[in-house]
């Protein structure tokens, strides 16, 4: 069982790199990470963070959050939220996140997170909230009528996500680093004002090369340039057929001058566990057609066991797993909120 974790001293600043074997790496970490349920996860998510999670779940106490309240930060309506939550959990199960090892839970089931938000908000200034680069970027791309208060404050709610379980390690993409910084700020100031309650968490970034979308732009579900983990063989083949390449017959791995070709080689390399350069050598003068054939086969082969595991789970499984995860996460949150209130003298 995952009881409350023992108090541990705050940790040094900085972020941890995948594969680094420092003393801290072998510490008793509590890992927390999560996703907004806005649509299917894709291969970029897999190589960027899901693979890390599957690896970490065997070693550490681990929480994975379905950040449903965070959906309404950059759009006015939650959309098909129940459907998206179910699909997200199926994605997790499909890639091998094991609910016997990991607590999967959702924002909206843990009211204590909202209670933690208020004292945490008192610890940061409006100026600090306004200069968060990820928030600025989201405002620039937002579909909202007006920028809401939640847009500026959700990083502090995210601090509650990480601190409620005394998380120490947060596997995330680069865009989330400012939020981990906010979390560290909140934890440090809380400890200074009210006494030592929280460890200072560290971000952990994947070591994998950044995968771009099939059109060469940022891989994103909304741009139609991503291969979803739930894509069928035919959908996968169609997406790769449309991928941008060039007319050079000799396939080479040249990230600067041929970024689209290099990206396809990187994708195949990740799926096959091979060096992109070797794959390029193998294709030689086969041109874009041979390249796409190889990539399609590699991706479909890679996704086969993931598709199979996905199909093994029912909606009933999903409901049961979430109910259980929510209950366990909530138990943990109640304990931390109690400590916070005690420390503050409420």
Residues of the shown chain interacting with ligand TRP in the complex, contacts defined by CB under 6 A: 32-36, 65, 67, 70, 158, 161-162, 170, 172, 176
> Nearest to ligand TRP by Cβ — which residue?
67
Shortest reach from residue 11's CB to ligand TRP, in Å: 17
Smallest gap from Cβ 212 to ligand TRP, in A, equals: 18
Closest CB to ligand TRP among 35 and 262? 35
Instruction: Output the smallest distance, CB 66 to ligand TRP, in A.
Output: 9
CA distance 142 to 140: 6
Sign of CA dihedral 12, 13, 14, 16: positive
CA pseudo-torsion sign 296, 301, 306, 308: positive
Token pair for residue 256? Answer: 């600067």
Least distance to ligand TRP, CB of residue 159, Å: 9
User: Which residue, 11 or 290, is less far from ligand TRP as judged by CB?
Assistant: 11
- Report CA-CA distances (Å) from 140 to 136, 181, 217: 6, 21, 17
Nearer CB in complex with ligand TRP: 163/264: 163
- Would you say 173 or 287 has its CB closer to ligand TRP? 173
The smaller minimum CB distance to ligand TRP, of residues 228 and 288, is found at: 228
Query: Rounded CA gap, 271 and 43, in Å?
Result: 9
Closest CA to 96 of 58, 67, 44: 58
Distance CA 47, CA 33 (A): 15
Closest approach of ligand TRP to the CB of residue 264, in Å? 25
| C-beta of residue 225 within 8 angstroms of C-beta of residue 211 | no
């Amino acid at each position: 069982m995952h009881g409350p974790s023992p108090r541990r001293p705050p940790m040094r600043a900085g972020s941890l790199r995948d594969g680094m074997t420092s003393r801290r790496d072998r510490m008793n970490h509590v890992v927390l990470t999560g996703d907004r349920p806005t649509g299917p996860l894709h291969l970029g998510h897999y190589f960027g963070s899901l693979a890390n999670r599957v690896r970490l779940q065997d070693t550490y106490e681990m929480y994975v959050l379905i950040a449903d309240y965070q959906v309404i930060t950059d759009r006015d309506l939650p959309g098909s939220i129940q459907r998206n939550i179910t699909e997200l959990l199926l994605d997790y199960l499909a890639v091998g996140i094991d609910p016997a090892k990991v607590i999967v839970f959702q924002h909206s089931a843990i009211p204590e997170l909202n209670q933690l938000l208020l004292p945490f908000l008192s610890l940061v200034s409006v100026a600090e909230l306004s200069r968060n680069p990820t928030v600025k970027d989201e405002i620039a791309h937002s579909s909202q009528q007006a920028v809401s208060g939640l847009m500026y404050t959700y990083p502090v709610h995210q601090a509650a996500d990480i601190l409620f379980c005394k998380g120490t390690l947060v596997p995330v993409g680069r865009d989330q680093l400012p939020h981990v910084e906010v979390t560290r700020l909140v934890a440090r100031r809380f400890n200074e004002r009210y006494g030592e309650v929280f460890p200072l968490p560290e971000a952990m970034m994947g070591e994998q090369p950044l995968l771009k979308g099939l059109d060469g732009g940022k891989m994103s579900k909304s741009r139609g340039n991503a291969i979803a983990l739930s894509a069928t063989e035919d959908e996968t083949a169609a997406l790769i057929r449309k991928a941008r390449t060039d007319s050079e017959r000799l396939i080479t791995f040249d990230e600067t001058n041929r970024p689209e070709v290099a990206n396809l080689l990187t994708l195949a390399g990740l799926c096959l566990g091979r060096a992109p350069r070797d794959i390029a050598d193998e294709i030689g003068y086969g041109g874009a057609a041979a390249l796409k054939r190889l990539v399609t086969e590699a991706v479909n082969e890679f996704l086969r066991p993931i598709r199979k595991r996905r199909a093994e789970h029912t909606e009933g499984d999903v409901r049961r797993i979430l109910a259980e995860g929510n209950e366990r996460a909530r138990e943990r949150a109640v304990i931390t909120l109690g400590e916070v209130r005690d420390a503050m003298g409420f």
